[in-house]
């Protein structure tokens, strides 16, 4: 028995060491970034006694008051909201009808919703340049033309989340029970199915937000002005401010996501962000 | 019959916008790319497709494949270990909240901020570089640089590990505690349990996850672009061709490269689907 206890203790120590190592790997770049962004001392001149000097948030302030950054942020927020809406408007009815009325079609629909995953931004941008840029330049003129494409790339994980959510609540049984007891079709949807899909929708909205705020390839190659592309431009002229802004966006998004996850946990819902 | 028709009408109402959406924004541009790749200079021919796999473009595919493989296998192993390590950990209470939200941000938002963060860490003036220099180790002496192969692998792990963690968490939770207990009661050592029960059960999901990571790295553009990677990889070649498409014939080349990428990803997706079907057999019931 004692050898077993010793083995367990060993494995616990091993696990703790592994977790500390991982935490270090994830924390170090953020710390380095924060130091560069907020401490006005070049790395070459940094000595232990200078560790506490020169800290200021001036870089972040410059970045957050830059008119280009402000307008790009506003654009990105609009793209986030519109992509979430477009994605859900198309996929929620599709997922519900597939699950409760045509379950036989589910494998085909699942495969179709995975297609955007096969044609990622760096690939589709070539196709869009060869089609829309020539046939409909007016469409690509607006920054908001990114919306349908971003909704597309949010589709694989959104559909998975919705489908998993519907199966978890036994949507088909609920639907049949409600219909059997005389509820009209819209009533079943609005009062039974949709309220139960909230957690899937919130999780997908959160992931879509992260996706849109991070997408760079497509926007940059189509010369669109979004937060990530403007961030890169800004960093070239003001590295300190650029890094401060990048750190701010990352941490801010993580905190918002953390609050969403925690709120969902409190209600006994799980947040499975799994994209596959 | 009436119910059937009504069901169909409903199906149509939801299927039409979906198909129109995918068709217009995804299928149509992709088919145009395929068509152009197969008709270089206006006539049917495979010259663009073969050129896309020769010379510098061939080495681009090879570099991308190695980079994706290395970061997928290492990231996959660490991500799986992380999912296993925190399974059943209930303290500290904020652990899973932090892990979930940070994983989503690091794996999805990544890109540009990550490149910045790693310049500040392992760039020539980076914090870690400086620390190592203080210890008398110059990473440059080992041929390690942030924009080279292992530098990129090191950076890519920052989004690969969290992605694997997110992908594997449901599968890891599918491992019942009762199975482990049963094995141990029957006299198996923990090692034996893992070798003949745990790992075989996790194998399909793990392989699927690693393939997903492979694709993720293969198509990752922003980090390498912002880092100004010196490694010749496919996404950077696509950028080069797309920006320099004034040269005649280059556009067909971009189309051909993209066609190969899509073929590769389609095959991978097929493999992932097959693996997942196998994985589902165990996690269902």
Residue A73: pLDDT over 90: yes
Q: Hey, of B35, B117, B255, B280, which one would you mutate to test binding to chain A, going by the most A CBs within 10 A of its CB?
A: B117
A-contacting residues in B 104-123 (Cβ below 8 Å): 104-106, 108-114, 116-118, 120-121
**Can you tell me the distance from the alpha carbon of A207 to that of B104, in angstroms, rounded to the nearest whole number?**
7
pLDDT at res. B20: 93
What is the band of B45 on the pLDDT scale with cuts at 50, 70, 90? confident
Contact A222, A128 (CB under 8 A): yes
**Of the candidates A219, A203, A224, A212, the residue with the CA atom closest to the CA atom of residue A249:** A212
Q: What is the per-residue pLDDT across B116-153, written as a single tens digit (0 to 9) for each?
A: 999 888 887 788 888 888 887 777 766 667 778 888 99
CATH 1.10.3720.10 fits B57-283, yes or no: yes
Cα–Cα dist B37/B253, whole Å: 7
Residue pair A63/A217 in contact (Cβ under 8 Å)? The answer is no
- Is residue B5 scored above 50 in pLDDT? no
| pLDDT tops 60 at residue A275 | no
Task: Give A73→chain B minimum CA distance, Å.
Answer: 15
Closest chain A residue by Cα to residue B266: A118
Percent of chain A predicted with pLDDT > 70: 93
pTM equals 0.87
* Separation between Cα atoms, residue B197 and residue B193, nearest integer Å: 5
Distance CA A225, CA A274 (A): 30
User: In whole angstroms, how far apart are CA A102 and each of A113, A161, A162, B7, B31?
Assistant: 16, 18, 15, 8, 29
C-alpha distances out from residue A6 to A1, A2, A9, A13, B177, Å:
9, 6, 5, 11, 21
Higher pLDDT, A89 or A197: A89
Token look-up 């927020």 returns A77
Nearest to A254 by CA among B223, B100, B120: B100
Cα dihedral angle (B175, B179, B181, B182), rounded to 10 degrees?
A: -170
Cα(B191)–Cα(B195) distance, rounded to whole angstroms? 6
Burial of B162 (0-12, 13-18, 19+ CB in 10 A): buried
**Burial status of residue B90 (CB atoms within 10 A of its CB: 0-12, 13-18, 19 or more):** exposed
Closest residue by Cα to residue A88 from A201, A186, A251, A171 = A201
With a cut of 70, say whether residue B27 has pLDDT above it. yes
- Which residues from chain B sit within 8 angstroms of residue A119, using beta carbons? 26, 30, 262, 265
Q: Does B103 touch chain A (CB under 8 A)?
A: yes
Which pLDDT score is estimated for B39?
A: 84
Inform me whether the pLDDT recorded for B247 exceeds 60.
no
CB B249 within 8 A of CB B258: no
What tokens appear for B149 in the block? Answer: 């192969």
CA distance B209 to chain A (A): 8
Which pair of structure tokens corresponds to residue A65? 């008051």
User: How much of chain A, in percent, has pLDDT values that exceed 90?
Assistant: 29
Would the pLDDT of B282 be above 70? no
CB B151 within 8 A of CB B145: yes
| Average pLDDT of the residues of chain B | 84
Least confident of A33-37, B13-17, B103-107, B271-275: B271-275
Q: How far is A150 from chain B (nearest CA, A)?
A: 10
pLDDT at B23 over 80: yes
Q: Is the peptide bond before B92 cis (omega within 30 degrees of 0)?
A: yes
Q: How confident is the model at residue A215 (pLDDT cuts 50, 70, 90)?
A: very high
Average pLDDT over residues A13-34: 91
Average per-residue pLDDT in chain A?
Answer: 85
Locate B173 and state its tokens.
């939770």
Three-class DSSP category at A55: strand
Report yes or no: B92 and A23 within 8 Å, Cβ to Cβ. Answer: no
pLDDT-derived band of residue B217, with 50, 70 and 90 as boundaries? very high
* Whether residue B211 has pLDDT greater than 80: yes
| Across B46-68, average pLDDT | 88
Does residue A100 contact residue A168 with C-beta atoms inside 8 Å? no
Candidate ranges A59-68, A124-133, B30-39, B64-73; pick with highest mean pLDDT:
B64-73
Q: Please give the pLDDT value at position A18.
A: 92
- For B29-60, b where at least 16 C-beta lie within 10 A, e where not — what string? bbebbbebbbebeeeeeeebbebbeeeebeeb
A39 beta partners: A55
Residue B1: pLDDT above 70?
no
pLDDT score for B75 = 96
Residue B26 has pLDDT above 50, yes or no: yes
Q: Which residue of B has its CA nearest to A265?
A: B97
> What sign does the CA torsion over B188, B190, B195, B198 have?
positive
- The more confidently predicted of residues B42 and A240 is A240
Per-residue tokens: A18: 């592994």
Put simply, the chain B residues between 38 and 77 with a CB less than 8 A from any chain A CB are none
Interface test with A, best of B120, B162, B185 (most A CBs within 10 A): B120
Band of the pLDDT at B2, cuts 50, 70, 90?
very low
Tokens of A78: 């609009």
Neighbours of A259 (CB within 10 A): 13
Q: How many CB atoms lie within 10 A of CB B94?
A: 10
The 3-state DSSP class for residue A39 equals strand
- Do B269 and A262 lie within an 8 Å CB cutoff? no
Contact (CB, 8 A) for A148 and A82: no
The pLDDT value given to residue A276 = 41
Q: CA nearest B268: which of B186, B208, B187?
A: B208
Q: Looking at the DSSP assignment, which residues form a beta bridge with residue A55? A: A39
Of A131, A213, A275, the CB nearest to B29: A131
Question: What is the rounded average pLDDT of the residues A265-271?
Answer: 67
User: Phi then psi for A55, rounded to 5 degrees?
Assistant: -80, 135
Residue of B nearest to A255 (CA): B101
- Asked if the Cβ–Cβ distance from B100 to A102 is below 8 Å, we say no
Taking contacts as CB-CB distances below 8 angstroms, the residues of chain B near A120 are: 215, 219, 265
pLDDT at A44 over 80: no
Backbone angles phi, psi at B169, to 5 degrees: -55, -50
- Predicted ipTM of the assembly: 0.85
Amino acid B146: pLDDT: 77
Each residue's pLDDT tens digit, B67-111: 999 999 999 999 999 998 888 777 777 788 888 888 888 888 878
pLDDT at B4: 45
Higher pLDDT, B168 or B246: B168
Give the residue from chain B lying closest to A235, CA to CA: B116
**Residue A38 banded pLDDT, cuts 50, 70, 90:** confident
pLDDT digits (tens, 9 = 90+) for B188-209: 887 888 888 888 888 888 888 8
d(CA B188, CA B211): 32
H/E run at residue A218 = helix A217-221
d(CA A209, CA A207): 5
Residue B15: closest CA among A264, A142, A112, A250: A112
Q: What are phi and psi of A86, to 5 degrees?
A: -60, -45
- pLDDT-based confidence at residue A270 (cuts at 50, 70, 90): low
């Amino acid at each position: 028995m004692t050898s077993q206890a010793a083995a367990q203790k060993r494995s616990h120590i091993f696990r703790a060491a592994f977790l500390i190592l991982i935490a270090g790997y994830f924390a170090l770049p953020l710390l380095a970034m924060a130091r560069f962004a907020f401490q006005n001392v070049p790395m070459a001149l940094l000595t232990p006694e200078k560790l506490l000097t020169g800290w200021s948030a001036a870089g972040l302030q410059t970045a957050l008051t830059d008119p280009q950054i402000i307008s790009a942020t506003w654009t990105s927020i609009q793209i986030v909201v519109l992509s979430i809406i477009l994605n859900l408007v198309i996929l929620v009815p599709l997922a519900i009808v597939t699950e409760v009325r045509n379950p036989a079609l589910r494998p085909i629909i699942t495969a179709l919703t995975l297609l955007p995953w096969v044609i990622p931004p760096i690939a589709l941008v070539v196709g869009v340049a060869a089609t829309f840029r020539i046939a409909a330049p007016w469409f690509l003129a607006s920054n908001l033309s990114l919306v349908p494409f971003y909704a597309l790339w949010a589709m694989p994980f959104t559909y998975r989340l919705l489908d998993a959510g519907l199966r978890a609540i036994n949507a088909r049984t609920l639907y049949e029970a409600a219909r059997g007891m005389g509820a009209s079709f819209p009533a079943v949807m609005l009062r039974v199915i949709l309220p139960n899909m909230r957690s899937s929708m919130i999780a997908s909205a959160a992931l879509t937000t992260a996706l849109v705020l991070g997408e760079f390839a497509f926007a940059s190659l189509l010369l669109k002005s979004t937060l990530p592309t403007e961030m890169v431009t800004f960093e070239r002229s003001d590295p300190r401010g650029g890094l401060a802004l990048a750190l701010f966006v990352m941490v801010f998004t993580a905190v918002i996501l953390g609050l969403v996850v925690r709120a969902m946990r409190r209600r006994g819902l799980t947040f499975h962000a799994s994209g596959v | 019959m009436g119910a059937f028709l009504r069901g169909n009408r409903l199906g149509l109402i939801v299927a039409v916008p979906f198909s129109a959406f995918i068709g217009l924004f995804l299928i149509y541009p992709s088919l145009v790319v395929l068509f152009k790749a197969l008709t270089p200079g206006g006539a049917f021919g495979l010259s663009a497709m073969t050129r896309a796999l020769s010379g510098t473009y061939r080495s681009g595919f090879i570099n991308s494949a190695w980079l994706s493989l290395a970061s997928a296998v290492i990231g996959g192993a660490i991500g799986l270990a992380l999912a296993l390590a925190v399974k059943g950990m209930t303290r500290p209470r904020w652990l899973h909240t932090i892990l979930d939200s940070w994983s989503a941000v690091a794996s999805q938002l990544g890109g540009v901020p990550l490149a910045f963060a790693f310049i500040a860490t392992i760039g020539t003036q980076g914090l870690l570089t400086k620390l190592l220099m203080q210890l008398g180790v110059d990473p440059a002496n080992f041929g390690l640089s942030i924009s080279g192969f292992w530098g990129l692998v090191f950076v890519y792990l920052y989004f690969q590990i969290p992605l694997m963690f997110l992908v594997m968490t449901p599968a890891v939770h599918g491992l019942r505690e009762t199975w482990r207990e049963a094995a141990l009661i029957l006299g198996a050592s923990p090692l034996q349990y893992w070798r003949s029960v745990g790992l075989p059960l996790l194998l399909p999901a793990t392989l699927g996850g690693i393939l997903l990571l492979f694709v993720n790295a293969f198509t990752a553009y922003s980090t390498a672009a912002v880092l100004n990677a010196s490694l010749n990889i496919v996404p950077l070649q696509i950028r080069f061709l797309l920006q320099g498409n004034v040269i005649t014939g280059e556009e067909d080349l971009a189309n051909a490269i993209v066609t190969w990428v899509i073929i590769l990803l389609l095959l991978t997706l097929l493999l992932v689907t097959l693996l997942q079907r196998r994985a589902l057999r165990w996690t269902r019931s």
